[in-house]
Chain A
């Protein structure tokens, strides 16, 4: 048996009335001031059902607790003592992360470029590079016009400009639960101002993108 870890919360955690991977019972393990949400599974195994069950538990815990840090899928511990030992030295760092996400949700945004004109292959290498650079600069400017006001209205944000040639930006915003509607309205307004771009807004999510605290050695 392995203890699969789903999420970390402040103690006392309120457990959702659902089961985890392979219909295992959820439990809490106390680590310092934190509770780890775990369940015993036969072994860590990567499959679609396990990934979706993990996400379901994170959602359930997130719905019932004010401050939740999702744990990345795929980590198992042989017992509670081993889990405590792995987290023990980093409780302070995790508590700061819990403070940041408390009462907040994550909103995801991807903005697709409707068209992306190919760089003409004629002309000199210099022309090619100049044209390409001009397009990257234009994309950074356009991304800034969208991301800037949204980041200003969020408690925290992450953004990648031009993650693929077709995508202007991919971003995540940490927003208070009761400000989600207002935030979505801001996105809708930006969408309306940019008919040439495709806006896809997702969430609210548990704050996955703001829980990327590396607690490795």
Chain B
């Protein structure tokens, strides 16, 4: 892999990992208003559409224990 494509991959994976963390990880609180999984998934899909070139490094949403 060339260094430029490697660095582009790094950037894309970093954004993907950021979105995974913000939406799927962290302390889960039961709030008065909690966004539905469907609402969050829409954003998730929107952000991931920007990241098609990392499809080979994708991990299915919500697949973790």
> Judging by beta carbons under 8 Å apart, are B28 and A72 in contact?
yes
**Which of A51, A77, A87, A97 gathers the greatest number of chain B CB atoms within 10 Å?**
A51
CB nearest to B47 among chain A residues: A48
> Judging by beta carbons under 8 Å apart, are B28 and A69 in contact?
no
For chain A, residues 25 to 62, give those with C-beta under 8 angstroms from any C-beta of chain B.
Answer: 43-48, 51, 54-55, 58
Give the interface SS of chain A, mostly helix, strand, loop or mixed.
mixed
> Judging by beta carbons under 8 Å apart, are A71 and B57 in contact?
no
Check A104 for interface membership: any CB of B closer than 8 A: no
Interface residues on chain B, number (Cβ under 8 Å): 37
CB nearest to B9 among chain A residues: A200
Query: B15: shortest Cβ distance to chain A, in Å?
Result: 10
CB nearest to B34 among chain A residues: A75
From the candidates A160, A202, A215, name the one contacting B64 in the complex (CB within 8 A).
A160
Check B10 for interface membership: any CB of A closer than 8 A: yes
> Judging by beta carbons under 8 Å apart, are A214 and B33 in contact?
no
Which B residues touch A209, using CB under 8 A?
Answer: 21, 25
Interface residues on chain A, number (Cβ under 8 Å): 52
Query: B53: shortest Cβ distance to chain A, in Å?
Result: 13
CB nearest to A160 among chain B residues: B64
CA distance A87 to B19 in the complex (A): 25
Chain-B contact segment, one of A10-18, A163-171, A178-186: A163-171
Interface 1/0s, chain B 18-36, versus A by CB < 8 A?
Answer: 1101111111111111110
> Judging by beta carbons under 8 Å apart, are A208 and B33 in contact?
no
> Judging by beta carbons under 8 Å apart, are A51 and B28 in contact?
no
> Judging by beta carbons under 8 Å apart, are A5 and B29 in contact?
yes
> Judging by beta carbons under 8 Å apart, are A48 and B43 in contact?
yes
From the candidates A71, A112, A160, name the one contacting B27 in the complex (CB within 8 A).
A71
> Judging by beta carbons under 8 Å apart, are B43 and A215 in contact?
no
| A contacts, CB < 8 Å to B | 2, 5, 8, 43-48, 51, 54-55, 58, 69-78, 82-83, 86-87, 94, 97, 108, 110, 112, 158, 160, 163-164, 166-167, 170, 198, 200, 202, 205, 208-209, 211-217
